[in-house]
Structure 1
Amino acid sequence: MGKKFFVSLALLAALGAGLFRTRSEAFAADIKGKHASEGLGCADCHKTDKPTAAAGIEACLDCHGGYDKVAERTKGMHNNPHDSHLGRMACLKCHRVHAPSEYLCLECHSDFEFKDK
């Protein structure tokens, strides 16, 4: 029997033993920042314990109070990212829960600094 057969057999054994997690299980174990420190779990945003897709923007706005409230809370920032010339955008364009955030503004504005005035 060939090497590929034994590699396949080893992978099947590992899966059977539960050594590999599904993608959603790996993400669930990797909630970052304030959401994790607040004790939030998958169902708090995704409305299910085993998510198969990103949470909807409604989940963000329900907890954070809507676009206007978020923009008001960050109005003291130099270059307020929540009051943008691009208008209202989906939160996940910048904010990530399972990975580091990426600021969309920086794709064009390389000189922006997001800090309190």
Structure 2
Amino acid sequence: MTKTITMALVATLGLGLAFGACAAEKTLAEVHGGQLPAETGWATKGQCLQCHQSYDALAEKTKNLEPNPHKSHLGAVNCVECHKADKPSKQPELMCNSCHNFTLKAK
């Protein structure tokens, strides 16, 4: 009986943590709230850089990723090429993968 109760508690805790992680994942639109343009819902590179400063600053923030998505041989690409308003903000669709096969990994 004790074993069954313990397993039920462990399963409940595991499900709670799993659902909590899913609930915590927000879209870019949810993260930025009313800052996206109402007419399209899409931001321009200029709007992004008002808060995120510059591509050099972004490259510094993401220097622990390999490859660094903000240090591209293409230069300062439009943010919306990778970051979509209706997708989870922490899971960009890498524009680089139209030619390459990258998976972002921590160094």
Q: Same fold (TM over 0.5)?
A: yes
Which of these residues, 27, 36, 39, is aligned with residue 33 of structure 1?
A: 27
Considering only CA atoms, is the larger Rg found in Structure 1 or Structure 2?
A: 1
Q: Take 1:58 and 1:93, find their aligned partners in 2: how far apart are those partners?
A: 14
Query: TM-score under structure 1 normalisation?
Result: 0.57
Provide the residue aligned with 1:82 in structure 2. 70
> Between the two proteins, what is the percent identity of the paired residues?
41
SS in 2 for 1:41: helix
The structure with more helix, counted as a fraction of residues: 2
Higher relative contact order (CA 8 A, sep 6+): 2
CA distance in structure 2 between the partners assigned to 1:96 and 1:52 by the alignment? 12
Once the two structures are superposed, what CA deviation does each residue of 1:20-72 show, in whole Å capped at 9, x if it has no partner?
A: xxxxxxxxxxxx43652x4x433x132xxx41463221111112122111011
Give the alignment's Cα RMSD to 1 decimal.
Answer: 2.1
Pairwise CA distance, 1:94: 0.7
5+ residue gaps, structure 2: 1-25
Q: In the alignment, which residue of structure 2 is the partner of 1:106?
A: 97
Give the match's secondary structure for 1:62.
helix
Q: List aligned pairs for 1:87-98, cutoff 5 A.
A: 87-98=75-86
Between the two proteins, the alignment pairs up a number of residues equal to: 79
Instruction: Indicate how the Cα distance of structure 1 residues 108 and 62 shifts in structure 2: closer, same or farther if over 3 A, else same.
Output: same
Contact 2:28 2:83 (8 Å CA) reproduced: no
Runs of 4+ in 1 over 4 A off after TM superposition: none
Deviation at 1:91, TM superposition (A): 0.3
